[in-house]
């Protein structure tokens, strides 16, 4: 009998251990979720307060690493494997190539109960018609920010950025599609061109622009505005809006032909915590959480249910709540397929 009791005790201890650590030796919450989620996100693109609220509610810690460009994200996933992260945010035009390379997996839409909160303009689009691979997070516009105290000339087109009075005075994203895209527009070409001659033909225009570029910065371009190191920035709309909070002389200008992309949640193909990743996506689509995100990082919010919770600073700010007349004339970035190698080739010439 002692042996029986001993075996029962061992069995009970083993069962308790399994219940505590869960599958793969990981700790689990009272609801059976893993206590950790590994998130690879853009720099300054998710408030810590959101992740703290998520942990408070579900007991799940979100471990965050950051990147500065889609290219950096792609390189990391290819080099280190998709199992190192569960969740990421990528620009929409990266979804098709990520799918082709087997880097992402389908999202169980049944677990995204707040999907219906999204504005219909940003879902069901050609790059992912059923939104099985991506869920919109933010809409990112690139605009021209101008410090009116330092530069009083009118800026209406991208060619105006070539003004000699802006020598060493502009900050731009460290991103080939953003810079080559406006160069193509300035030459009357499609910013999603797949034509090698058209793409390479922008080199001289970009060389002229480079004389005015003080810094390529995708991490914290607003800081150069705040410190007064630049007069103008071609950068993301939220960066301009955040800089204007500290310096009201900074205003946003949208040229007639503006560019934008939808940044979307994706789940990596090797995700170790898929269920937790879907839970976090759904959490972020709650109106109050989505509004919390936008208040800290004022990009254009695709969550229609969150808009009534946003204050006048968002609703009355054309830098973030982009006017319809700008949207009607704008171009959304597209996947350019194999032509991406031309963009990379040109970018290497520009940066080296």
Please report, in tens digits, the pLDDT of each residue of the chain (352 residues total): 333 334 334 344 434 343 444 445 678 988 899 999 999 999 999 999 999 999 999 999 999 999 999 999 999 999 988 999 999 999 999 999 999 999 999 999 999 999 999 999 999 999 999 999 999 999 999 999 999 999 999 999 999 999 999 999 999 999 999 999 999 999 999 999 999 999 999 999 999 999 999 999 999 999 998 899 999 999 999 999 999 999 999 999 999 899 999 999 999 999 999 999 999 999 999 999 999 999 999 999 999 999 999 988 888 888 898 988 999 999 999 999 999 999 999 999 998 8
Q: How far are the Cα atoms of 79, 132, 214, 223 from residue 95, in angstroms, in the given order?
A: 18, 11, 32, 30
Q: How far are the Cα atoms of 78, 197, 343 from residue 339, in angstroms, in the given order?
A: 19, 11, 7
Give the number of C-alpha atoms closer than 13 A to the C-alpha of residue 249, restricted to the C-beta side: 13
Are 212 and 169 contacting, i.e. CB atoms less than 8 angstroms apart?
A: yes
Whole-angstrom distance, CA of residue 65 vs CA of residue 151: 37
Over residues 83-116, the pLDDT tens digits come to 999 999 999 999 999 999 999 999 999 999 999 9
DSSP 60: -
Are 339 and 193 contacting, i.e. CB atoms less than 8 angstroms apart?
A: yes
Tokens 């997996």: give the residue. 105
Residues comprising the chain, all counted: 352
Sequence ranges of the domains in the chain: 2-139+261-315, 140-260+321-351
Query: Spelled out in words, what is the top-level CATH class assigned to the domain 2-139+261-315?
Result: alpha beta
Whole-angstrom distance, CA of residue 36 vs CA of residue 22: 12
Are 202 and 193 contacting, i.e. CB atoms less than 8 angstroms apart?
A: no
DSSP 192: T
Instruction: Give how far the C-alpha of residue 291 lies from the chain's centroid of Cα atoms, to the nearest Å.
Output: 16
DSSP 64-107: EEEESSHHHHHHHHHHH-GGG-SEEEEEGGGHHHHHHTT-EE--
Give the number of C-alpha atoms closer than 13 A to the C-alpha of residue 27, restricted to the C-beta side: 7
Are 66 and 41 contacting, i.e. CB atoms less than 8 angstroms apart?
A: yes
Query: Spelled out in words, what is the top-level CATH class assigned to the domain 140-260+321-351?
Result: alpha beta
pLDDT of residue 14: 37
Tokens 């704008």: give the residue. 330
Burial of 304 (0-12, 13-18, 19+ CB in 10 A): middle
Whole-angstrom distance, CA of residue 226 vs CA of residue 218: 16
Are 302 and 139 contacting, i.e. CB atoms less than 8 angstroms apart?
A: yes
pLDDT of residue 25: 61
Angle, helix 340-351 to helix 203-210, in steps of 10 degrees:
40
Q: Is 232 helix (H, G, I), strand (E, B) or coil?
A: strand
Angle, helix 48-58 to helix 287-296, in steps of 10 degrees:
150
Nearest to 335 by CA among 161, 95, 17: 95
Instruction: Give how far the C-alpha of residue 324 lies from the chain's centroid of Cα atoms, to the nearest Å.
Output: 22
2-139+261-315 and 140-260+321-351 agree in CATH topology: yes
């Amino acid at each position: 009998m002692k042996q029986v009791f001993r075996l029962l005790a061992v069995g009970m201890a083993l069962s308790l251990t399994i219940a505590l650590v869960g599958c793969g030796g990981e700790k689990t919450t009272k609801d059976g979720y893993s206590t950790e989620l590994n998130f690879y996100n853009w720099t300054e693109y998710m408030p810590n307060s959101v992740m703290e609220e998520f942990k408070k509610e579900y007991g799940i810690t979100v471990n965050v690493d950051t990147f500065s460009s889609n290219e950096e994200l792609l390189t990391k996933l290819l080099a280190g494997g998709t199992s190192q992260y569960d969740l990421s945010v990528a620009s929409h035009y990266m979804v098709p190539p990520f799918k082709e390379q087997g880097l992402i997996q389908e999202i169980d839409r049944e677990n995204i109960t707040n999907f219906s909160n999204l504005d219909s303009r940003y879902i069901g689009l050609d790059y992912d018609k059923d939104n099985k691979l991506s869920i919109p997070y933010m809409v990112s516009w690139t605009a021209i920010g101008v410090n009116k105290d330092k530069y009083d000339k009118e800026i209406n087109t991208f060619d105006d950025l070539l003004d000699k009075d802006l020598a060493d005075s502009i900050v731009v994203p460290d991103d080939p599609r953003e810079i080559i895209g406006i160069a193509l527009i300035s030459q009357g070409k499609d910013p999603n061109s797949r034509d090698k001659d058209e793409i390479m033909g922008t080199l001289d225009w970009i060389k002229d622009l480079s004389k005015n570029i003080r810094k390529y910065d995708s991490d914290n371009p607003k800081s150069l505005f705040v410190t007064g190191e630049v007069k103008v920035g071609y950068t993301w709309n939220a960066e301009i809006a955040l800089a204007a909070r500290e310096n009201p002389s900074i205003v946003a200008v949208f040229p007639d032909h503006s560019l934008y992309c939808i940044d979307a949640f994706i789940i990596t193909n090797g995700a170790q915590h898929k269920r937790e990743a879907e839970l976090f996506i759904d959490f972020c689509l709650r109106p109050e959480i989505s509004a919390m995100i936008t208040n800290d990082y004022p990009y254009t919010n695709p969550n229609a249910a969150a808009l009534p919770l946003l204050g006048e600073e968002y609703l009355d700010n054309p830098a973030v709540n982009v006017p319809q007349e700008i949207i009607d004339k704008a171009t959304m970035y597209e996947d350019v397929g194999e032509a991406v190698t031309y963009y990379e080739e040109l970018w290497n010439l520009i940066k080296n």
